[in-house]
Each structure stands twice: as C-alpha cells, then as structure tokens.
Amino acid sequence: ETGVTQTPRHLVMGMTNKKSLKCEQHLGHNAMYWYKQSAKKPLELMFVYSLEERVENNSVPSRFSPECPNSSHLFLHLHTLQPEDSALYLCASSQGLGTTTDTQYFGPGTRLTVL
Amino acid sequence: AQKVTQAQTEISVVEKEDVTLDCVYETRDTTYYLFWYKQPPSGELVFLIRRNSFDEQNEISGRYSWNFQKSTSSFNFTITASQVVDSAVYFCALGPYNFNKFYFGSGTKLNVKP
C-alpha cells in the first residue's frame, strides 16, 4: 500500500465502549497528526507527533488518547466518548516539522458515530 | 492571532465556467506557508499546493491557478473551465514556518453542474 491508510473507515460505538483508530503511513515521514472534522466546523488539529514524541496537544479531552509506537504508525484510543465526538477523524503525515518539506498528506479518514 | 477566512460557503457553477475561491488569512509571522486542499465526497483530503510567503509569483498547474497577494493577505484559487469532477470542498490553510500547526479555513463547497 502507498500513502496514508486509516482503519477502520467507519466506526459506530456506544458511549461506554473502548475502541482504537489506526493510521499507517508508507511515505517515510517523521511526523504524524490527528485531526477532527465535525460538520460545519473548520478542521481541528488534535495531536502532533514527531519522531514518536508528542509535540502538540490542543487541549483535547482525556477520553482521546494517542499512541505513536513508531514513525509509521499512529493510534487514537477512544473511551467513554460523547455523541458530540461523532466526526470524521483524519490522520496525516509530513516529512518533518519546521522544514521546507512539511506538507501534510492525509489519509481517507475514519467516520466515527457515537450513539 | 492566526486565522484563515473563506467567506464563500458554497458556490455553484455550470461546467466549463471559470470559478475563483477566495482565501484571506491573518498572521503575525513574517514567514509562513499557505496551502490549498481538496476534499471530494469520498472524504480524503488531497493536497493541491503549498506557497511560501516569500514567493508571490502566481502559480498555474493545468486548469488550476493561484493568486497570492501579500498586500491584501489573500491566496485565491481559480479553476478554469470547471468540470464535474471538480465538485468538492476546498480548504485553504495557513502554517507557520517553524512549527507545523495548521489553521484551516471553514472550506468552500464547489458544485459543478453538467
């Protein structure tokens, strides 16, 4: 596979469930990101990882827990979510941070519905 | 404050018409990047262009062209001879030079009718 892949593509979960979103990039990049896209809202940056270390956390609730075991994989662990967390979750990667090649490439997203 | 404004929420055109999508940004940084992304109905964001704040040359790529005007803090995107496949939501984004923290506009939905 090439580019950035995300699984699952669709997820429906109850408020008491625990689930994880997976992102994998095949571009040899060193930085990975999680974004949330809600209806009628601008994209929101949730987490940024560079070389497996978290760089940015834009005040995201603790019910979202990211994990970056290596530069190719990024997870978003979900627990006790709320209905308002229903959204499209997008993963992205870039060559690095603060370089001229910092363009982000996005995966197809996971459409999450919280019941 | 960093901010990107896309005032046009939705635009409808007929195939083969030209259409311009507006993007106005605010930043205190002297060096920054501007981006355009396309999001078709499938949901996947597709990178279209990155522009460095030092380079105000207009860019043309096929039917796409971009007009960067630093004096008016605008980075507008024009599609010439639009096609139905151009139907998507288009996002403009701002990124500072030394840190990859993106600020996205709210997007403009383009409907191209046959």
Chain A hits for B33, CB-CB cut-off 8 Å, are 102
Q: How far is CA B53 from CA A5, A97, B34, B50, B62, in A?
A: 31, 17, 7, 10, 22
Q: Which of B47-56, B57-66, B91-100 has the lowest mean pLDDT?
A: B91-100
- pLDDT at residue A101, as a whole number: 52
Please name the residue of chain B whose CA is at the shortest distance from the CA of residue A100. Answer: B97
- Chain A residues with CB-CB distance to B42 below 8 A: 108
pLDDT per residue rounded down to tens, chain A (115 residues): 569 999 999 999 998 889 999 999 999 999 999 999 998 777 888 998 988 888 877 789 999 999 999 999 999 999 999 999 999 999 999 887 765 556 888 999 999 999 9
Task: Encode B40-68: b = buried (16+ Cβ within 10 Å), e = exposed.
Answer: eeebbbeebbbbebeeeeeeeeeebbbbb
| Beta pairing class for A44-50 and B74-79 | unpaired
Name the β-bridge partners of B47. Answer: B37
Of A59, A64, A55, A56, which is closest to residue A87 (Cα–Cα)? A64
More confident residue, B38 or A99: B38
Q: Is A58 exposed, middle or buried (0-12, 13-18, 19+ CB in 10 A)?
A: exposed
Find which of B44, B100, B102, B103 to mutate to test the A interface (most A CBs within 10 Å of its CB).
B100
Tell me the β-bridge partners of B32. Answer: B96
Give me the residues of A, 53-82, that contact B with CB < 8 A. Answer: 56
Q: What is the pLDDT of residues B65-105, one digit of tens each?
A: 999 999 999 999 999 999 999 999 999 999 876 555 778 89
